[in-house]
Structure 1
Amino acid sequence: MKKYILTITIIAILLSCDITENRFIYIENHSNQNIISFISKKDMNKMSAITESDSGADVKTNNFGTINPVRIRWEQYFKSCEDGKIRIYIIKEDSIIKYGMANILKKNIYNKKYLYSIEDLEKINWKIKYK
């Protein structure tokens, strides 16, 4: 009986543990300008602001950054995206300074947009190379 209770207790503890997601989106900036990158579940022209689920990274010239939203489950995130695909936007830092984020979203201004399924990101090892 003690073995049975111990086994049930261990299973309950393991099932209650939060599984940490270990996948990140790596943005490699090979351009000569600083960039801001962020992910979104929908197209920019349908956004009025960047929300908690639209996590991003500030990436300096010839450097890399990671996009890792807190407590995300990528499979669930992709299921909630339009067409099951994530949007990754790259915007030059100078543009944000010049126009402001509200105008950038309103006018759909960006330097590069990537559209990926989770399978697409797996194929490229979760690394985006911006030039």
Structure 2
Amino acid sequence: MKKIISLLIILASILFSCESVKDTVYRIDIENQSTHTIQYYISRPEEEFVYPNTSLPTVKKVSREIKPSITNYDDSGSNWEVVYKKLPSDKMSLFIFDSDTLKKYNWENVRLNYRVLKRYDLTLKDLEDMNWTVTYTGN
């Protein structure tokens, strides 16, 4: 019985001494203040093209739809400062697309004709100054 209690105490101390699972979310909010549904793509360090190359990737990688007056977010999985240190420059590109355009045209057409509603080339300071919220107004 003493062995079982000792074993339980040891197991409990091991379990409680381990670091808890990281639950921090490093997010950028994308707020849609336009009158149409949008989708976005963020060009991260591991992507095919990163700023200063503002080409769209050869494989379609866009978010789910964001309806008008709705805010969605993108989570980096790690601190954005770490992400920015991996970039070849101090900017990261965020592309906004009309969701209807993505439904109407195949990705190759979107890429080659650069059917982007708006592109934001953002520094870390830009995002901090914007309180981590990119607001698309349709202009």
TM range (shorter): 0.7 to 0.9
Instruction: Give the count of matched residue pairs.
Output: 116
Correspondence 1:1-131 to 2 at 5 A = 13-14=18-19, 19-41=22-44, 42=50, 43-45=53-55, 47-50=57-60, 56-69=63-76, 71-131=77-137
Structure (1 or 2) with the greater helix fraction: 1
**Distance in 2 between residues matched to 1:59 and 1:45, nearest whole Å:** 23
Normalised by the length of structure 1, the TM-score is 0.73
Q: CA RMSD in A?
A: 2.5
Percent identity, please: 23
Residues 28-87 of structure 1, C-alpha deviations (whole Å, 9 max, x = no match) = 111111000121031442632246xxx734211121111114x33322221222412111
Gaps of 5+ in 2: 1-13, 45-49
**Distance in 1 between residues matched to 2:115 and 2:70, nearest whole Å:** 23
Aligned 8 A contact 1:49 1:105 in 2: no
**Distance in 2 between residues matched to 1:125 and 1:57, nearest whole Å:** 22
Normalised by the length of structure 2, the TM-score is 0.69
- What secondary structure does 2:73 align onto? strand
Residues 98-118 of structure 1, C-alpha deviations (whole Å, 9 max, x = no match) = 112232123322000111111
